[in-house]
């Protein structure tokens, strides 16, 4: 299962969807694409606005400077993840922690 954890200035995405075998999993591919497109767009706008790490099976995004466009892109990514979760509820878990 892919686990998404969102806090105020922190997003962690980890795990494997287990929808299909590694390399053929459309849920994992979708999540990877959403995250990659979002991170790349943010870095093109302001490369000092986020810090991210990507290791095998885990991406961590830390928001260092937030502006309207950065917030919009991250909110869009989360909306897309929620839409994917509706289609594949057994494969994605999203937890948002306020504070």
In the CATH scheme, what is the code of domain 2-96?
3.30.70.1490
Return per-residue pLDDT of the chain as tens, 99 residues: 999 999 999 999 999 999 998 889 999 999 999 999 999 999 999 999 999 999 988 999 999 998 999 999 999 999 999 999 999 999 999 999 986
* 41 sits in which H/E element: helix 26-45
Q: Where are the domains of the chain?
A: 2-96
**What DSSP string describes 45-97?**
H-TTSEEEEEETTEEEEEESS--HHHHHHHHHHHHHHHHHHHH-TTTEEEEE-
Q: What is the dihedral of CA 17, 88, 73, 53, to 10 degrees?
A: -10
Three-state DSSP at 6 gives strand
């Amino acid at each position: 299962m892919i686990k998404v954890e969102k806090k105020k200035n922190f997003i962690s995405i980890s795990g494997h969807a287990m929808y299909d075998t590694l390399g053929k999993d459309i849920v994992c591919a979708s999540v990877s694409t959403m995250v990659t497109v979002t991170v790349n767009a943010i870095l093109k706008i302001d490369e000092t606005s986020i810090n991210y790490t990507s290791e095998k099976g885990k991406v961590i995004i830390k928001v260092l400077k937030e502006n309207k466009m950065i917030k919009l892109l991250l909110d869009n990514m989360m909306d897309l993840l929620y839409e994917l979760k509706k289609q594949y509820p057994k494969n994605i878990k999203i937890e948002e922690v306020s504070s």
